[in-house]
Structures are given as C-alpha cells and as structure tokens.
A = this chain, B = another copy of it.
Amino acid sequence: MGNPVEVIQSVKLDDENSTLILLDQTVLPNETVFLELKEMEDVWDAIYQLKVRGAPAIGIAAGYGVYLGTKKSTADTYEELYSDFLKVKEYLASSRPTAVNLFWALNRMDNRFKKEVGKSVPEVKAALKEEAELIRAEDEKICESIGQYALSLLEPGWGILTHCNAGTIATAKYGTALAPIYLGQEKGYDFKVYADETRPLLQGARLTAWELQQAGVDVTLICDNMASIVMKEGKIQAVLVGCDRVAENGDTANKIGTSGVAILAKHYNIPFYVCAPLSTVDLECKTGDDIHIELRQSEEITSKWYEKPMAPKEVKTYNPCFDVTDHSLITGIITENGIAYAPFNESLPKMFKSTK
C-alpha cells in the first residue's frame, strides 16, 4: 500500500566529508539549495541569516556545528580540547541570541563533553558526534511518534487544513503538524491538504506548500481568509497545527491567525488538533494570559516581498506575531507520548509521566 515518499531532511551530517548539509530556507520556494557547510563560521552564518529556521532544526544545526568546530581542534589533551570546545560554543551562541533551542543544544553538547572526562581526544570527538546525531535522532523520533498518534485520528481521503509551517524542514524529519500527512502518504492515505498562506511572512505559501509538493502530497494553497469557505464547502475534515507554547490549561500560542482558524473549525464542527512536542508544553505557564505576544514591524505588512509598498505611507499597523487559541476550541493536543483531551490541566501533566 502507498508509495515510497521522500520526506526532506533539512539538516544532516555527512561525516565522511566533515560537512553539514543544510537546506537554505531563505531562497525557497524559488530555489532549492542544499548548502555544504564545512566551517563553524558557515554554520554561524546559516543560523544568523535564518537559512535554518524552526526551533528543533536550529538546535540540530548547532549540535552539528559544535561537533564540526571541535573536530578541527589540534589539541592533544582533554583539557586543551575543552578549551577549544568552549570557544566554539561561545561563538555559535552569538549567532541568534534569542533562540532558546540553540542554547539548549549547546548546553547539551557541553554536558556530554563533561561526561567524557578522562577520555582521549579522538574518543571525545566521537562522543560529540554521537551526541549531535542523538539530538537529531531524538527529534525525528518525537516527530514520528506525534505523527503516528495524529494519524490514528484521521481517515484516508480526508481534507486537512494547516496554518503556518510545522513541517519537516523545521525539524529533524516529518515535522509536527505535517508528520501525520507524511506518514499517511507513505500508507497511501491520499490526504487533500489545504495550506493557509499565513500572512505576513507567508510560511504556508513559501514553505508548507513547497515541502508537501516535494513529497508528492496533494496540496492546495489558499489565502488565510479562505479558510471559512473551504470548511463550509465540506473540503476540510480536520485541522492540524503546530504550536510555540502550550499552557497547563491547554491554551496554545501559535502563529498569528491560528485562533481564528480554531473558531471557524468549531463553527463548522470540524476537529481542531494541536501537535505539540512536550518541549513546548509549559506546565509552569497556567493559562494563555501568561503568554507574552511579540509585536513586530509594520514593514512586514506594508512592503515586505512587494515590488512597491501596498499600503499608504505611515499608515498605522498592528502586527502581532502569535495569538493564543483558547483551550475550549481545541479537540486534542497530540504529544509524542499520546493525545491529551480536556480537561487539559489533568491530561497534559500525565503526558510527562507516560512511557511509550
């Protein structure tokens, strides 16, 4: 059943050639360029220039960057190597100081280094490679698990709406919200995916439509304001979205527009699922009211991407980057350890205790 599906891996190591192979997301969808990064300076630049985006993908790139940078060290002892390692770590940390996953990955590499105390230089270098590969492999496993749980909720032939990009190129592989699409594609589920273009940064048009098209998925691009009509016309049987942060009560921060899609889904009686790695579930955050919404520049709305500005000069804009979807609008929150249903403040903590 089904056809073999080539799901893009946007960050991977070619160790034989001491090279990090990285998909340049800044030139999508017009060009498909896989960069071959050999120097830590190249990795720094790729993170800084947003050539790699998506929290997990940034973490993976950083892990590999640490390995490649440290591998070049000519140190003879563990201590000398650690000194070189710290320079690499500090350098890469400066590439995108606001990216939480960057620091998480760098610290994880540091902890692994410390664990190898007393080992030879080649042994430590091998351990760093192993740790970087582990970061990637664990993320892939999380995505695959989310995908399997999500797939259990879907039926072949369904129309599925998604917003923004929670796809393979933002993670090790599969993505979160798009994972069940790829896993279903491998099983011949023949989903019809509708991708919101996701203004103002167009992640749906530039990234989601592109990566699904590459994998041979039946994808249709729509403007954000067309979600209502495709639901009304019976084209959508489920909505799947990713998330940036989930509060203990299930309130979910995700790309601007997500809450509107959830309200439409409820109106049309369509299930609305959030795909959330447990790393995004923050039990310390009690409700969505505790989530700060970043406001971004006017220019993203008025002139970015355009040949010339499409709004009058000096017009006021309001450009929140995220919105919070109320837990009452969410049918289920799909984690790598299972699916949480309301009341979420009871079901979500249990996910952390689950073992698969």
Contact = CB atoms under 8 A, between A and B. Distances in A.
A300 to B, nearest CB: 9
Interface string A227-269: 1111010000000000000000000000011011001101100
A74 interface: no
A323 B232 contact: yes
A182 B160 CA distance: 42
A29 to B, nearest CB: 4
Interface stretch (A101-109, A139-147, A305-313): A305-313
Nearest to A232: B259
Contacts of A198: 225
A220 interface: yes
A225 B260 contact: yes
A133 B119 CA distance: 93
A181 to B, nearest CB: 15
Contacts of A210: 311-312, 315
B205 A225 contact: no
Interface residues of A, number: 56
A323 B228 contact: yes
Contacts of A309: 29-30
A126 B226 CA distance: 48
Contacts of A213: 312, 315
B267 A226 contact: no
B302 A260 contact: no
A222 B317 contact: yes
B220 A223 contact: no
Interface in A244-301: 256-257, 259-260, 263-264, 266-267, 293, 301
Given A206-B311, A213-B315, A223 B302 contact: no
Nearest to A306: B305
A311 B221 contact: yes
A336 interface: no
Contacts of A264: 260, 263-264
Given A225-B224, A307-B305, A194 B315 contact: no
B305 A222 contact: no
Given A224-B224, A229-B320, 11 more contacts: A29-B312, A210-B315, A213-B315, A218-B316, A219-B316, A222-B319, A226-B257, A228-B263, A263-B264, A267-B267, A307-B307
Interface of A: 28-30, 194, 196-200, 202, 205-206, 209-210, 213, 218-230, 232, 256-257, 259-260, 263-264, 266-267, 293, 301-302, 305-313, 315-320, 323
10 contacts: A199-B224, A202-B310, A206-B311, A221-B315, A221-B317, A223-B256, A226-B257, A229-B260, A232-B259, A305-B310
**8 A-B pairs with least C-beta separation:** A225-B257, A228-B260, A29-B312, A224-B225, A199-B223, A229-B323, A205-B311, A210-B312
